[in-house]
């Protein structure tokens, strides 16, 4: 099945697209099986609620949700061994703001963990308000890159 909005492949049984976060046409999101994420504040100060179905995060993958700043509410799937973020147009996570370095950080998948590594950014990378060079990410960690504040969520560990 493919998303009607962005065309991404959607895992069977999903209620929302894990790439763009939009509901799947013809499927109603069941509130009893979803988790509310922290309220997101847009650049204009408007607050929006984001709802995340457990199926939205595939096992072994992660999602970054922009919590505050330009593009608040946008979601990015982390599903490669190395995911890049920065102001460079070829970044996997393109953050178009002068407060973000062209090549700002990498998120590396190591087995069932995700490590965030600052790759020499000018303004630094922060995890839970602490400047880091590298750190292992946990569910719910807040990442700040320039004006962008994001929340990190990962799928459950692979079942044997």
Q: What is the DSSP string of the chain?
A: -B-TTT--B--TT-SB-TTT-PBPTT-PPPGGG-EEPPPEEETTS-EE--EE-GGGS-TT-EEEEEEEETTTT-EEEE-SSEEEEESSTTSSEE--STTS-SS-EEEEEETTEEEEEE-S-SS-EEETTEEESEEE--TT-EEEETTEEEEEEEPPPPP-
Whole-structure pTM value: 0.68
Structure tokens, 8:
């991404």
Would you place residue 155 in the very low, low, confident or very high pLDDT band (cuts 50, 70, 90)? Answer: confident
Would you place residue 58 in the very low, low, confident or very high pLDDT band (cuts 50, 70, 90)? Answer: confident
Residue-wise pLDDT for 80-91, tens only, equals: 999 999 999 999
Q: Rounded to whole angstroms, how far apart are CA atoms 80 and 27?
A: 28
pLDDT at position 36 is 45
Residue-wise pLDDT for 111-132, tens only, equals: 889 999 999 999 999 999 999 9
For residues 105 and 121, the answer to whether their CB atoms sit within 8 Å is yes
Residue-wise pLDDT for 25-47, tens only, equals: 665 544 444 444 545 555 555 65
- Give the lowest-confidence range in 56-65, 70-79, 151-160: 151-160
pLDDT at position 92 is 94
């Amino acid at each position: 099945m493919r998303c009607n909005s962005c065309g991404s492949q959607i895992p069977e049984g999903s209620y929302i697209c894990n790439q763009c976060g939009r509901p799947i046409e013809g499927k109603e999101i069941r509130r009893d099986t979803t988790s509310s994420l922290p309220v997101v504040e847009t650049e204009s100060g408007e607050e929006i609620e984001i709802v995340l179905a457990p199926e939205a995060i595939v096992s072994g993958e992660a999602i970054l949700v922009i919590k505050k700043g330009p593009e608040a509410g946008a979601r990015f799937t982390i599903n490669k061994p190395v995911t890049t973020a920065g102001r460079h147009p070829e970044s996997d996570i393109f953050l178009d703001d002068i407060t973000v370095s062209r090549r700002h950080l990498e998120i590396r998948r190591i087995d069932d963990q995700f490590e965030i590594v600052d790759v020499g950014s000018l303004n630094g990378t922060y995890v839970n308000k602490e400047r880091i060079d590298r750190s292992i990410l946990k569910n719910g960690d807040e990442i700040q890159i320039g004006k962008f504040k994001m929340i990190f969520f990962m799928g459950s560990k692979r079942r044997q």
